[in-house]
Amino acid sequence: MKAPEAAVPMEEIQWRESHNIYQPACRPLPDFLSTIDLISNDLISNSGNPPADRPLLVFLEQRCADRMKRHAGQDILREQAGILCGQAYQSDEQSYVVIESAIAVDTLGDAGHFRFHQNSWQGFWINLSDSHNIIGWYHTHPGMGIFLSATDLRTQQLYFSSAWQIAMVIDPISRETGIFYGPLGTRLEEDSCFIYLQKGPQ
């Protein structure tokens, strides 16, 4: 995957440090778990209860998982991609992210690679909710299996380098899915990833 194309020459971009950089909020994990129902799904398997000794837990909302699955299968002759949005939390020593939205992004590419173009981001920003934060990204590897290529790792390091930011890879042919996190693109264990449904009003 190639890096997003800048709308202006790189030498004209000025970076500023900000005190308002998004950081995970403090929320006890039991508090979050009381608002959802964990379910099984063929996209990501789970054991039913979050383990206590994982570096990161990922909770993926069912409709979001279905949306990604449909997008991944739309065109298996070229890679598909999108951005994952939601919230990141810290609960004592446990970090976890909640993926609430998957926004498909129009890209250019083939079965082995893709790249963003200028219009990719225009459509993304229109669909981004004010209440959501960018938690990571996803893309497909049609028939190639689950891994991060050298280019994928570079993208992760450049744009999703926080310890709680993730990359999800989907192979729509084998129907496998894997999640990687942090600047090194470390793969998460399957029992660290959960599909959930939001509970209705009590």
User: Minimum mean pLDDT among 43-57, 142-156, 176-190: which range?
Assistant: 43-57
Domain ranges across the chain: 22-198
CB-based contacts of 133, cutoff 8 Å, min separation 6: 22, 85, 86, 87, 88
Q: How many CA atoms lie within 13 A of 31 on its CB side?
A: 9
Residue 17 has pLDDT above 60, yes or no: no
What is the reported pLDDT for 92?
A: 87
67-79 average pLDDT score? 87
Q: What does the pLDDT read at residue 137?
A: 94
The architecture (CATH level 2) of 22-198 comes to 3-Layer(aba) Sandwich (3.40)
pLDDT at 9: 42
- Of 69-83, 100-114, 131-145, 164-178, the range with the lowest mean pLDDT is 100-114
Q: State residue 132's pLDDT score.
A: 74
Q: Which pLDDT band, with edges at 50, 70 and 90, does 77 fall under?
A: confident
20-34, 39-53, 133-147: range with lowest mean pLDDT: 39-53
pLDDT of residue 117: 55
pLDDT tens for residues 139-159? 999 999 999 999 899 989 988
- Distance of alpha carbon 176 from alpha carbon 173, whole angstroms: 8
Its sign, for the CA torsion 13, 130, 57, 41, is: negative
